[in-house]
Amino acid sequence: MDAATFRRKAVYGRWAVASAFFFNGFLVGSWAPQIPVFMTRLGISEFTLGLLILVFGIGALASMPWCGYLIEKHGSRAVVKGFAIFCSFSLLLVALAPNVISAAPALFLFGAVIGGMDVAMNANAVEVEKKLSRAVMSSSHGFWSLGGFAGGGLGGILIEAHGHLAHAVVVTIIAIAIGLIAFRFMITEEAPVRHEKQKLAFPTNPLIYLIGLMALFSMVPEGSVLDWAALYLRQERGADIATAGFAFAAFSGTMSIMRFLGDGVRDRFGAVNTLRISALIGASGMLAASIAPTSWIAILAFAFSGLGIANMVPIAFSAAGNQKGTSSGVALSMVTLMGYSGILVAPSAIGFVGGKTGFGPIYMVLAGLLVVVFLMANLARSADQKVR
């Protein structure tokens, strides 16, 4: 293959993996406006709804460890496409569930295929970075955020006009169309590593778990802003409901913008320096939010924190996927598992503690976690292997 053809395929692969991130985020975003209807039509309480949403998270976390085994055996492209088939119909399955007994396994499956695809598309993004010799991970996560925004916005309009089932059908059609058009251009590893009597195993390299810890400490603040920032502003800073809702909107908005800018920043300054600066920005914003005297100052502080947190997890994923002597799929499955625990599991414990102490001290502690990431930033130096 000549250099021009190789480059062209890599560029096509870059946009194909961006489409995979958009696809995944679009499905997750489409689930959000379904939740109120889901609760009403099943006649369940907030507590039961919380347990069912936790089932979604457990499904995602359960699929992540063995997804690395599948990637090592079949390559990331095949695994992305395989999970995408199930993802396309997963929201429709939840929308069709008539009761809690059927909704629980449907949500578990939804979480499992979304989580499995998440690992595989991150592994594919690492491969694209290697072939293009430049960073694409941050902007790929930006496409996930963009997909979530599109899914949530379109969902509210369609459900209002045509009902939850028609919305789920439209989402399924859009997902299938994206998969058929874009995923055929995905690239994959040159030769997926295969071993005789290959077994599902956890990484033996301890550095993988330290990078996973960085991802965890980076994602716990994100999950805490998502789940508890509005309540913090409402109860402890006297904000009205409309104002309280701006906390996560401002945070996620700056995250999305910075993720699209992040690859260029990282290519220029390197992963380690970018991670250090990002961690300090994130920590200072979180600390300012914890002591802000008014709700609007807290909102600005959360927005500033989002600028820093935006690129921390993408860098951790790139660092994990480039560890020598370890399959990128196996490494990413563990780091993704650890990182996403910060969004799917940790906020439950934070809510319990925050109910006793208030959330101001919680956000102060979360600033401390980001300082720990700053101190560990040198562990991310492998993220630059494909761009140096």
The predicted pLDDT at position 341 comes to: 81
CA angle 355, 359, 360 (to 5 degrees): 145
pLDDT at 197 over 50: no
pLDDT, average across residues 198-222: 83
Calpha distance 299→8 (Å, rounded):
43
pLDDT, average across residues 205-229: 87
Identity of the highest mean pLDDT range in 56-60, 216-220, 236-240, 371-375: 371-375
pTM: 0.77
Identity of the highest mean pLDDT range in 29-33, 195-199, 335-339, 364-368: 364-368
CB contact set of 228 (below 8 Å; sequence gap of 6+): 347, 350, 351, 354, 359, 362
Calpha distance 241→114 (Å, rounded):
31
Phi, psi (degrees; rounded to nearest 5) at 195: -125, 145
Identity of the highest mean pLDDT range in 238-242, 257-261, 278-282, 342-346: 278-282
pLDDT category of residue 110 using cuts at 50, 70 and 90: very high
Q: From the CB of residue 154, how many other CB atoms can be counted at a distance below 10 Å?
A: 18
The predicted pLDDT at position 210 comes to: 93
pLDDT tens per residue across span 290-299 = 999 999 999 9
The predicted pLDDT at position 246 comes to: 78
pLDDT category of residue 385 using cuts at 50, 70 and 90: low
The predicted pLDDT at position 291 comes to: 95
The residue with greater pLDDT, 233 or 342, is 233
Q: Give the closest residue to 367 by CA, choosing from 247, 222, 221, 232.
A: 221
pLDDT at 230 over 90: no
pLDDT, average across residues 138-148: 86
pLDDT category of residue 241 using cuts at 50, 70 and 90: low
Least confident of 98-107, 145-154, 346-355: 346-355
pLDDT at 27 over 80: yes
Contact at 8 Å (CB) between 97 and 106? yes
pLDDT at 150 over 90: no
Which residue matches tokens 């599948």?
70
**117, amino acid identity:** M
pLDDT at 328 over 50: yes
Contact at 8 Å (CB) between 31 and 156? no
pLDDT, average across residues 27-39: 83
Helices (H), 292-378: 295-309, 312-321, 328-344, 346-357, 359-376
For residue 385, the SS3 value is: coil
What is the residue-wise DSSP string for 317-337?
Answer: HHHHHT-TTS-HHHHHHHHHH
**How far are the Cα atoms of 12, 34, 151, 155 from residue 159, in angstroms, in the given order?**
34, 8, 12, 6
pLDDT category of residue 195 using cuts at 50, 70 and 90: very low
The predicted pLDDT at position 1 comes to: 61
The residue with greater pLDDT, 221 or 48, is 221
The two tokens of residue 134 are: 């430049």
The two tokens of residue 34 are: 């379904």
